[in-house]
Structure 1
Amino acid sequence: LEQLTMAVCAIRREGEGLLEPPEDIGIVIEGVEVLHELTSFASACALLLGLIYVLNLAYPKPLRFTFEKVLMGLGDFKPLAPRLLNLKYDLLGRV
């Protein structure tokens, strides 16, 4: 975790599958866990965007179009992968 610039991390018990809910979901910024015990990946992503804004952090270049692509659906991008579509729907409060 110390080497990560920004990340949403899930802690799972050893041997658990991906279909099991994680034991903990947290946010790491510059190697420091700043939030933990979050309820979902969608809320963790939304909180990470808020932290970037509030703390006036430099957005990592490889992720610079994430907000426009995933949340806003703007730009001339390829269709979203199923995992990104699920994240987008979760962040937008899929019914």
Structure 2
Amino acid sequence: MNINLPSLKGTEKQVAWAEKIRTELLQMIDEEIADELSSPVTVFWAEEGLGAKRDEVLKVARDRIAAQESSAWWIKHKDMNHHNLFYYLVDIYREG
């Protein structure tokens, strides 16, 4: 995990909760990305029109997520899981 994560902003209670969520989510994201990168490009990426950009999408989106400073953002996204992760990553990449 990235040691240089930004300090979270929010109330003391929000920050404590968000730090726990961030640790768990980034671990899950890193594991899922590693698994994805070890596989051929799937139909999901082709359907999203990002087959040739999969590796870039994963890196950019992961970096944008890790850079989030808002405790509220982490709390709002606490239900991100391996079933919906890649949809989140594509959305975050496209918002960029």
Please tell me the TM-score bracket, short chain as reference.
under 0.3
Higher RCO, 1 vs 2 (CA within 8 Å, ≥6 residues apart): 2
| More helix per residue | 2
| More strand per residue | 1
In the superposition, the TM-score normalised over structure 2's length comes to 0.28
In the superposition, the TM-score normalised over structure 1's length comes to 0.28
